[in-house]
Amino acid sequence: MQNSNYLYNSNILEVKNLNVWYRAFQALKEISLSIPRHHVIACIGPSGCGKSTFLRCFNRMNDLIPGTRISGQVLLDGQDIYNSGVDPTEIRTHIGMVFQKPNPFPKSIFDNVAFGLRINGFKGNIKEAVESSLRRAALWDEVKDRLNKSALTLSGGQQQRLCIARAIAIQPAVILMDEPCSALDPVATLKIEDLIAILKEEYTIVIVTHNIQQAARVSDYTAFFTMADDRSGILVEFGKTNEIFSNPKDKRTEDYITGRFG
Amino acid sequence: MTFNTLNYSKMYNRRIAMRKGIGDAFYSLFLLSVLVGIIGLITLLVQVLTEGIPWLSWRFITSFPSRHPQEAGIFSALMGTIWLMGLTAVFTVPIGVGAAIYLEEYAPKNWLTRLIELNIANLASVPSIIYGLLGLTIFVGWMALGRSILAGALTLSLLVMPIVILASREAIKALPLTYREAAYALGATRWQVTKSVVVPAALPGILTGVILAMSRAIGEAAPVIAISALVYLTFIPTSPLDRFTVMPIQIFNWISRPQNEFRGLAAAGIIVLLIILLSMNALAIFLRNRYQVRTEV
């Protein structure tokens, strides 16, 4: 995979010895893994094992929570996003996020997608950019006649695809998805999963999911987290999804994916 | 009627009729509590209307006060109230909303900010005459603004600021965290999040706070008496530094006169004050609804 003649590294994100504390509580302990470009990486594990905390390390959303402390490195294209000179606001324009509950702004459909473009001083044609984002999020045909209607008139599944359109409008390299289907019905879930399969051509996607089948369906790589005895989150196993699911190396992984635990 | 389908029903003493009776008793009690308020309000309104309507006329609204009841009007007090409300809103809204935004979005959560929050909540319940004396000392005295509209508006702003701050904070606090997270995740700065997401979404609640604050301010007599001390005014203010009087003071003055005719004038003044108050509230509710329609449907 790695070509020693090139400085270009096929891993877009690298996590090295990552520890996260919320005040005195250690939420993540000694996490290291590499995320290859243009793939889907699923993070699975029981509730409270730190999957979401892990995801939020990539766009520094944990910075917003008072009392959070981090050690270790998170490299985006080889540069540590936790270096003192790095502005989290800039990181978030490279690494977008889709949340657990669809959270469109109480604004029009158009303004939701245009929001990120406007605040980031987009100099191109906003109308075209909004249309292309909505098309890539497989939502354009459903909303093209009512772009000025409030985003809250959309169904839950449509709202979540709108949030995806909003995230990709500012052309990030990575999209983080925090249980994006947990509030959706099976049909809407399937649409999002189809979308993920298409989006990975252009983006690297890190997805947290409680649904083991979903991880198996959408991801190329799977990271299994669990809780250590002190309740801090640890990475048990990381590898190609088909290998994790067909031939887990760790007993805890096997128990989890076969449904004996969690 | 008794159902004997379950063998173990003897193990319960269900007393359904008695439990429903207790519920009905409380229902009546609550209904009675509401009626006391409504009947009191209706009695007041009827009394004011029957006394005041005969005196209500265009002449009453456009005349200056006079010692002859037939010639007396509320013009100078009405203009004073409009001036005072306008200036008070100019000071209160930006500062109150700004303080609320600071406390909710920017301030660290520590003992100092908790102390400030506690104090703001307490300030809302300080008697208004205290504010009047404070205004008299600071604005009229130290800042040498004289007994002017400006001094009055600054004093009233201090008085109603806590209401705006508390209501705006509640409105901002009620916003789901997910809106803020969504904006931050798109690379918004704190100010962009505040300006483009937090304030627009909290605006209906903020407007409600402004209505409450202005409604309180328009009815205040005590602090304005301390500042203006004027009742008999035969000119209308033309600048913020002019002297002034307001409607509650005028009404108070008429009520304290011995002649019966002045009681009628006072009632007419109350009607005008009520009309202004209700139109102010109607305007704010209209604005709020229009905004909610734009954002939620």
The domain of A194 spans: 11-105+174-257
Higher pLDDT, B289 or A237: A237
A149 falls within a domain: no
**Model confidence at B242: pLDDT above 80:** no
- In this predicted structure, what is the pLDDT of residue A8? 53
Answer yes or no: is A122 within a domain: no
- The CATH H-level superfamily of B59-296 is MetI-like (1.10.3720.10)
* Contact residues, A window 220-259, toward B, CB-based 8 Å cutoff: none
Tell me the per-residue pLDDT of A52-65, one tens digit each, with 9 for 90 and over: 999 999 999 988 88
Cα nearest neighbour of B191 on chain A: A119
Q: Is A259 left (phi over 0), alpha (psi -120 to 50) or beta?
A: left
Model pLDDT for residues A119-164, shown as the tens digit of each residue:
998 998 999 999 999 998 889 999 989 999 989 999 988 999 999 9
Question: A4: pLDDT confidence band, cut at 50, 70 and 90?
Answer: very low
Q: Give the whole-angstrom CA distance, residue B165 versus residue B98.
A: 8
CA B240 to chain centre: 22
pLDDT tens track for B1-16: 566 666 666 777 778 8
Give me the pLDDT at residue A5, please. Answer: 40
Q: Would you call B182 and A92 a contact, using CB atoms and an 8 Å cutoff?
A: no
Q: What is the mean pLDDT of the segment spanning A218-244?
A: 90
What does the block give as tokens for B77? 């007090």
For residue A75, give the CATH number of its domain. 3.40.50.300
Q: Which residue has the higher pLDDT, B213 or B237?
A: B213
In a domain, A229, yes or no: yes
The answer to whether the Cβ–Cβ distance between A163 and B179 falls below 8 Å is no
Nearest CB to A107: which of B186, B192, B295? B295
Which residues from B are below 8 Å from A when comparing CB atoms? 108-109, 176, 178-179, 181-189, 192, 196-197, 200-201, 294-297
**Separation of alpha carbons B227 and B136, rounded Å:** 6
Give the separation between CA A187 and CA A189, rounded to whole angstroms.
Answer: 5
What Cα–Cα distance (Å) separates residue A4 from each residue in A14, A32, A78, B112? 17, 22, 15, 56
Considering its fold, how many domains does chain A have in total? 1
| pLDDT value for B135 | 80
What's the confidence (pLDDT) of residue B296? 46
Which residue, among A65, A107, A122, A168, would best test binding to B if mutated, counting the most B CBs under 10 Å from its CB? A107
Lowest mean pLDDT among A70-79, A199-208, B260-269: B260-269
| pLDDT for res B230 | 67
Asked if residues A170 and A92 have their Cβ atoms less than 8 Å apart, the reply is no
DSSP β-bridge partners for residue A79: A76
The string of DSSP codes covering A34-98 is EEETT-EEEEE-STTSSHHHHHHHHTTGGGGSTTEEEEEEEEETTEETTSTT--HHHHHHHEEEE
Mean pLDDT, chain A, integer: 88
Per-residue pLDDT band for A48 (boundaries 50, 70, 90) equals confident
User: Rounded to whole angstroms, how far apart are CA atoms B222 and B131?
Assistant: 9
- Alpha-carbon Rg for chain B in angstroms: 26
Does residue A235 lie in a domain region? yes
The verdict on residue A128 lying in a domain is no
Number of Cβ within 10 Å of residue A213's Cβ equals 10
Provide mean pLDDT across the span A22-47. 90
Question: Is position A68 within any domain?
Answer: yes
Single out the residue of A233, A228, A226, A234 nearest to residue A253, CA to CA.
Answer: A226
The pTM is what?
A: 0.79
